[in-house]
């Protein structure tokens, strides 16, 4: 399973000028753009699952951990073996499973490509809630808000492109809007991506709004890592800013946990110089953890990130970034590390149990 999930696959990316709108390539990280245009984007299936984990909705709208478990199961069963380094999907699933895993794949590929092509930390990428025809995601870079629409299609992408250009009318004209369409054939064809770009007029984003959205992102990471009380407190701070409190009134006002450690067990994992933690609350109501054979899959948070969130040090939170890497160990553990400070791991069951 490790080779199937952790080996990087090459996904070709096509930048398409269409509907009279030329893609604004000046907003891309130019080095990343040149590489991706020529060679595609390299993502492992575990990267795609990790990228999608915070944002995928699925059937469990109000439970982040269950959404992740759902997406994990959906996507793992879809990945085919590659002989040429491409990403291929199995065709022997029923239509319902194909639709569900295609949604997860499209979200994960969209987040991964957006992060790389715009050189933006994944903690700046958020899900857009609300009814009506809206784009799926936003992110903030250099005080500018961007909108991203994610689409996944098994066949033709013509209607997907039309829908992306229609949705731009439902967002303000001051933001860049890009569409990322993942073509996900269930055959011998490899997965590939097309990028399109409706036009915009620039406008800056306030620091207050940047902080509010970072708190939204990290409350989800906290719940996935089992730190339910941290998630609740971050929600309270996020709501306060939403209600009109300026972030400066909350800056460096540390969160009050009270005595929650008695309500579960926390463990620390040091891997490749990265200190991370996970919390096992009583009742297992929060946190992602799933046993797969003799391996245990966990979602963790980097220790420095936890400290920043506990202290509510917003300057450090805005600047925070962790090196992205995939780390394997001699005892059979493997870790996907993202730049937002989240880790997705597979560890031998006995290794996890010795901590508990």
Q: Residue 35: its pLDDT value, please?
A: 96
Phi first, then psi, for residue 226 (nearest 5°) are: 90, -5
Angle of the 45-52 helix axis to the 95-117 helix axis, nearest 10: 90
Are 251 and 314 in contact, with CB atoms under 8 Å apart? Answer: yes
Q: 3-class SS at 223?
A: helix
Token representation of residue 335: 């870790």
Are 271 and 298 in contact, with CB atoms under 8 Å apart? Answer: no
Q: Residue 102: its pLDDT value, please?
A: 81
Q: What distance in Å separates the CA atoms of residue 19 and residue 17, rounded to the nearest whole number?
A: 7
Q: Residue 259: its pLDDT value, please?
A: 56
Q: Please name the residue that has the structure tokens 């996020």.
A: 238
Q: Residue 5: its pLDDT value, please?
A: 80
Residues 6+ apart with CB under 8 A from 311: 252, 254
Q: What distance in Å separates the CA atoms of residue 174 and residue 164, rounded to the nearest whole number?
A: 17
Phi first, then psi, for residue 6 (nearest 5°) are: -100, -10
Q: CA-CA-CA-CA torsion for 181, 144, 111, 166, nearest 10 degrees?
A: -30
Token representation of residue 220: 């989800």
Question: For each of the chain's 356 residues, which pLDDT tens digit applies?
Answer: 667 788 889 999 999 887 667 888 899 999 999 999 999 999 988 888 888 877 765 555 555 555 666 666 667 778 887 778 899 888 766 666 677 778 888 989 999 999 999 999 999 988 877 554 455 788 888 888 888 888 888 888 888 888 877 766 655 566 788 889 999 988 778 999 999 875 554 456 788 989 999 999 999 999 889 898 899 999 999 999 999 999 999 999 999 876 555 577 778 888 888 999 988 877 666 777 777 778 888 889 999 999 999 999 999 999 999 999 988 887 778 899 999 999 998 888 877 776 55
Q: What distance in Å separates the CA atoms of residue 272 and residue 326, rounded to the nearest whole number?
A: 10
Q: Please name the residue that has the structure tokens 């065709």.
A: 91
Q: What distance in Å separates the CA atoms of residue 311 and residue 352, rounded to the nearest whole number?
A: 28
């Amino acid at each position: 399973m490790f080779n199937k999930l952790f080996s990087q696959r090459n996904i070709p990316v096509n930048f398409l000028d269409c509907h009279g709108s030329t893609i604004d390539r000046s907003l891309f990280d130019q080095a990343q753009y040149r590489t991706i245009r020529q060679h595609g984007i390299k993502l492992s299936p575990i990267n795609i699952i990790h990228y999608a984990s915070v944002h995928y909705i699925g059937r469990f709208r109000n439970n982040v951990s269950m959404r992740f478990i759902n997406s994990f199961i959906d996507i793992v069963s879809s990945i085919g073996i590659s002989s040429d380094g491409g990403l291929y999907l199995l065709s022997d699933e029923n239509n319902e499973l194909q639709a569900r895993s295609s949604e997860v794949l499209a979200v994960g590929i969209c987040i991964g490509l957006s992060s790389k092509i715009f050189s933006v930390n994944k903690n700046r990428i958020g899900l857009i809630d609300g009814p009506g025809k809206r784009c799926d995601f936003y992110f903030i870079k250099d005080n500018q808000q961007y909108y991203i629409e994610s689409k996944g299609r098994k066949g033709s992408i013509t209607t997907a492109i039309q829908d992306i250009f229609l949705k731009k009318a439902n967002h303000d004209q001051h933001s860049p809007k890009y569409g990322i369409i993942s073509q996900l054939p269930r055959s011998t064809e490899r997965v590939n991506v097309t990028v399109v770009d409706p036009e915009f007029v620039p406008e800056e984003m306030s620091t207050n709004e940047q902080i509010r959205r970072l708190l939204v992102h990290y409350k989800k990471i906290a719940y996935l890592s089992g730190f339910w009380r941290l998630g609740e407190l971050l929600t309270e701070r996020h709501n306060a800013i939403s209600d009109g409190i300026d972030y400066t009134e909350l800056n460096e006002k540390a969160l009050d946990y009270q005595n929650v450690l008695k309500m579960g067990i926390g463990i620390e994992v040091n891997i490749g110089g990265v200190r991370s933690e996970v919390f096992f609350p009583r009742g297992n109501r929060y946190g992602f953890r799933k046993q797969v054979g003799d391996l245990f899959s966990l979602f963790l948070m980097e220790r420095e990130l936890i400290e920043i969130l506990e202290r509510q040090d917003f300057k450090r939170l805005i600047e925070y970034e962790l090196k992205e890497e995939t780390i394997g160990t001699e005892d059979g553990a493997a870790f996907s590390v993202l730049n937002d400070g989240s880790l997705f791991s597979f560890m031998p069951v006995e290794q996890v149990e010795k901590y508990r």
